[in-house]
C-alpha cells in the first residue's frame, strides 16, 4: 500500500462515521467533509493522525486499571480501525499486553458483564440449522483472508468461558503482520459451557447449556469447517482456545484439507522451538543434544514437545523414535511412564511414555508417582520447560539440581499469567549463579547478574511468530500450513536472537521489534511454500519479500473520493 492510497467510497453522512473501517473522525479533510456530507457533523478543526493518537493516549492514561484500558481500546476499535491500530503501534510494548495476554483473559472472563456491542460471528449449537445462512450474512461478497474461531473451552489461565469472541487474536495478526482487518472474521462456536458460575449468571450472553461433546460436537464443528472450505477455500483458519481433548485432534483432522493453524499447539511450540534453538546456539550444541523435561503435559506442553521433536527430525536428521527419547513429560500423575496405564495417559502422549525399567529404584510418592525433583536428579536435563500453571513448581532445590548436570541450564517457565509462573527469572538466575538461559511466558524485568550486569529476559510470546506464520501462508495462498513451513519460520526467528551475538543477551528479539520480526517469519514461510509447491501464487523466491511487504495493511487514512459505485 502506498503512503497515500486513494479509496472510492459509496457511504455518506452519518453512515460513514459510524463504520470503523471508514471513519476518520476529526481527520476528514475539508474537501472530504464537503464530498461526504460531514461539514456540519464534525467540529471545525482538522486533526492529523498523530494528533488523534495523542488525544486518545491521554484518554487512555486517565484509566489506570488494565481492564478499563482494555475496554477503552475495544470501544476505540469499534469507532475507528486506523486510529486503534495506529495508537497501539506507537505504544506497542505498553499496549499489546492490554489488548492481548494477560489482560484479555480478564476481559473474556467478564465478557457477559462488559458486553456492549457484538463483533464477529456467533454460531450456536441449537441454531445450527441456519448456520450457512448466518455465515453468509457476515461474509457474502467479502474477500476473507483469515478466520479465527474458538469454542472457548480452554482459555489460558481461566479455562472454560463458554462464549467470548476471539477478536484479540485477529487484531494481533493485523498489528504485527499486516493482515487487512476488513479481510478477517472472528467466530464464536457456542456449544455450551461446563462453567457453573456462567450457567447460573442471569447476565451470561451465551447458550446456557452444558457443553456438547462427542459426535454431536464433531458434526457441528465439521459443518462450520465445510462452510469455510466451500466459501473461502484460500483463507487461513485459525483454531483458538480449544480444549485439550479437541485441539490437536481437530488440527489433525483438517490440516490436510485446508490451511489450518492452532496457536495453542503450533504457535506455542514454534516460539519455544525458536527459543531452544537460540539457546542451543549459545551452548554450541544441537537440538538433538538436549535432554528435555516438560512440566505440564496439556495442549501447550504436548504442542511444545511435538514441535521440538519435529525440529530435531528436520534439522538434525534423526528418526522420530530417537527424537522422542529426548523428552520426559510430567502431568498431575508425575512422570508419564508405562505403569500409569491407559487410564492415566492422555491421548497424544503415547509417543513420549517412558519405560518403567529406566526408573527402577526411583523415589516415588505414596501413589507410586515420580515427581519433578526426582526426574531432574536422574535425567540431568539441559532444558526445563514449564507450562503447568503451578506457581513455584521450579523450586530452588529443583533448579540447583538441574545446574549440577549442565553448564548453562535452559529454563523456560512459560505459564501465563505471570502469577502462575513456575519460578521467577530472578530466582532462576540467582540459584544458578547467573548461568541460566531464560525465557518466560509473560514480560519480566531484567535480572541482576552476579557480575552486576543485567540479563534481558526473553518473552517467549507466541505473537513473535504466529502472525508471521499465518501471513506467510495467506500471502502465498498456500493450500496448507505445513510442518516444514512452520519450521522455516521458526528457524528464521531463532536466527534473529540477540543471544547469538552476545551469549548474555536475550534468547529472542525484543517484542518492540515484533512487526519487523513477523515480516521476516512471513517471508521465510512464503518462500518455503513456493519451494515445496503448496503455494497458490506464481512468484519467484527472490520476489517474495517485496510481494509480502506490498500486501501488508498499514494504519493510515489515505484519500477518500465519493463514488456511488465505490466500496461500502
Q: Is the dihedral of CA 60, 65, 71, 74 positive or negative?
A: positive
Out of 84, 100, 254, 455, the active site residue is 100
Angle between helices 167-177 and 466-475 (to 10 degrees): 70
Q: Is 100 a catalytic residue?
A: yes
Annotation-wise, does 264 bind a ligand?
yes
Whole-Å CA distances, 512 to 97, 271, 442: 12, 16, 14
Contact (Cβ atoms closer than 8 angstroms) between residue 291 and residue 519? no
485 Cβ neighbours under 8 A, 6+ residues apart: 469, 472, 473, 478, 525, 528, 529, 532, 534
**Mind giving me the DSSP string for 492-535?**
HHHHT-GGGT-TTS-SS--GGGHHHHHHHHHHHHHHHHHHHT--
- Tell me how many degrees the CA angle 16-18-19 measures, rounded to the nearest 5: 70
The contacts found for 447-456 with CB under 8 angstroms, 24 or more apart, are 449/504, 453/504, 455/425, 455/429, 455/504, 456/498, 456/505, 456/506, 456/510
Annotation-wise, does 241 bind a ligand?
yes
Annotation-wise, does 427 bind a ligand?
no
Q: Can you tell me the distance from the alpha carbon of 188 to that of 154, in angstroms, rounded to the nearest whole number?
A: 13
Q: For residue 118, how many other CB atoms are within 10 A of its CB?
A: 10
Out of 77, 169, 337, 477, the active site residue is 169
Q: Can you tell me the distance from the alpha carbon of 61 to that of 220, in angstroms, rounded to the nearest whole number?
A: 43
C-alpha cell at position 58? 491521554
| Residue whose entry in the numeric block shows the C-alpha cell 503448496 | 534
**What distance, in Å, lies between the first and last C-alpha atoms of the chain?**
19
| Residue whose entry in the numeric block shows the C-alpha cell 503455494 | 535
CA 195 distance to own-chain centroid: 24
Annotation-wise, does 240 bind a ligand?
yes
Q: Is 466 a catalytic residue?
A: no
In 3D, which of 98, 277, 125 has the Cα closest to residue 193? Answer: 125
- Tell me how many degrees the CA angle 501-504-506 measures, rounded to the nearest 5: 75
3-class DSSP state of 188: strand
Residues tagged in the binding site annotation for a divalent metal cation? 240-241, 264
Binding residues, as ranges, are: 240-241, 264, 416, 461
Q: Residue ranges for the binding site for (S)-malate?
A: 416, 461
Catalytic residues: 100, 169
Amino acid at each position: 500500500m502506498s503512503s497515500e492510497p486513494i479509496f472510492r467510497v459509496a457511504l455518506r453522512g452519518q453512515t460513514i462515521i459510524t463504520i470503523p473501517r471508514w471513519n476518520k473522525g476529526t481527520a476528514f479533510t475539508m474537501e472530504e467533509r464537503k464530498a461526504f456530507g460531514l461539514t456540519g457533523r464534525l467540529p471545525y478543526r482538522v486533526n492529523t493522525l498523530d494528533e488523534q493518537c495523542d488525544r486518545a493516549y491521554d484518554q487512555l492514561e486517565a484509566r489506570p486499571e488494565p481492564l478499563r484500558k482494555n475496554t477503552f481500546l475495544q470501544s476505540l476499535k469499534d469507532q475507528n480501525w486506523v486510529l486503534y491500530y495506529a495508537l497501539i503501534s506507537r505504544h506497542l510494548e505498553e499496549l499489546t499486553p492490554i489488548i492481548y495476554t494477560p489482560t484479555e483473559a480478564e476481559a473474556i472472563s467478564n465478557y457477559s458483564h462488559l458486553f456492549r456491542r457484538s463483533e464477529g460471528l456467533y454460531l450456536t449449537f441449537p441454531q445450527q440449522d441456519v448456520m450457512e445462512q448466518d455465515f453468509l450474512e457476515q461474509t457474502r461478497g467479502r474477500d476473507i483472508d483469515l478466520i479465527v474461531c474458538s469454542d472457548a473451552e480452554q482459555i489460558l489461565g481461566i479455562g472454560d468461558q463458554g462464549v467470548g469472541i476471539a477478536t484479540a487474536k485477529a487484531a494481533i495478526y493485523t498489528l504485527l503482520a499486516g493482515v487487512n482487518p476488513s479481510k478477517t472474521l472472528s467466530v464464536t462456536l457456542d456449544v455450551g459451557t461446563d462453567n457453573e458460575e456462567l450457567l447460573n449468571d442471569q447476565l451470561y450472553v451465551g447458550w446456557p447449556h452444558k457443553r456438547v461433546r462427542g459426535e454431536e460436537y464433531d458434526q457441528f464443528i465439521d459443518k462450520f469447517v465445510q462452510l469455510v472450505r466451500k466459501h473461502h477455500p484460500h483463507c487461513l483458519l485459525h483454531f483458538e482456545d480449544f480444549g485439550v481433548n479437541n485441539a490437536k485432534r481437530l488440527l489433525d483432522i483438517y490440516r490436510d484439507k485446508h490451511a489450518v493453524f492452532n496457536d495453542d499447539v503450533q504457535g506455542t511450540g514454534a516460539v519455544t522451538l525458536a527459543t531452544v534453538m537460540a539457546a542451543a546456539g549459545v551452548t554450541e550444541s544441537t537440538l538433538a543434544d538436549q535432554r528435555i523435561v516438560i512440566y505440564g503435559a496439556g495442549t501447550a506442553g504436548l504442542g511444545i514437545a511435538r514441535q521440538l521433536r519435529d525440529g530435531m527430525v528436520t534439522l538434525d536428521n534423526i528418526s522420530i523414535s530417537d527424537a522422542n527419547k529426548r523428552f520426559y513429560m510430567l502431568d498431575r500423575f508425575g512422570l508419564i511412564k508405562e505403569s500409569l496405564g491407559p487410564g492415566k495417559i492422555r491421548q497424544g502422549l503415547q509417543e513420549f511414555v517412558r519405560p518403567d525399567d529406566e526408573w527402577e529404584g526411583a523415589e516415588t510418592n505414596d501413589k507410586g508417582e515420580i515427581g519433578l525433583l526426582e526426574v531432574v536428579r536422574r535425567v540431568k536435563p539441559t532444558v526445563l520447560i514449564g507450562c503447568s500453571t503451578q506457581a513455584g513448581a521450579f523450586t530452588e532445590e529443583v533448579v540447583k539440581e538441574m545446574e549440577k548436570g549442565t553448564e548453562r541450564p535452559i529454563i523456560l517457565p512459560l505459564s501465563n499469567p505471570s502469577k502462575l509462573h513456575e519460578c521467577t527469572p530472578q530466582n532462576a538466575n540467582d540459584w544458578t549463579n547467573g548461568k541460566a538461559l531464560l525465557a518466560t511466558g509473560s514480560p519480566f524485568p531484567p535480572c541482576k547478574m552476579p557480575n552486576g550486569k543485567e540479563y534481558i529476559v526473553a518473552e517467549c510470546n507466541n505473537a513473535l511468530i504466529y502472525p508471521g506464520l499465518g501471513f506467510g501462508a495467506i500471502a502465498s495462498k498456500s493450500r496448507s500450513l505445513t510442518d516444514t513451513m512452520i519450521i522455516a519460520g521458526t528457524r528464521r526467528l531463532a536466527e534473529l536472537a540477540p543471544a547469538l551475538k552476545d551469549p548474555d543477551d536475550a534468547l529472542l528479539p525484543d517484542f518492540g521489534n515484533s512487526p519487523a520480526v513477523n515480516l521476516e517469519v512471513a517471508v521465510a514461510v512464503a518462500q518455503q511454500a513456493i519451494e515445496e509447491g503448496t503455494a497458490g501464487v506464481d512468484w519467484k523466491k527472490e520476489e517474495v519479500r517485496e510481494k509480502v511487504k506490498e500486501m501488508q495493511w498499514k494504519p493510515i487514512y489515505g484519500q477518500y473520493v465519493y463514488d456511488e459505485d465505490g466500496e461500502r
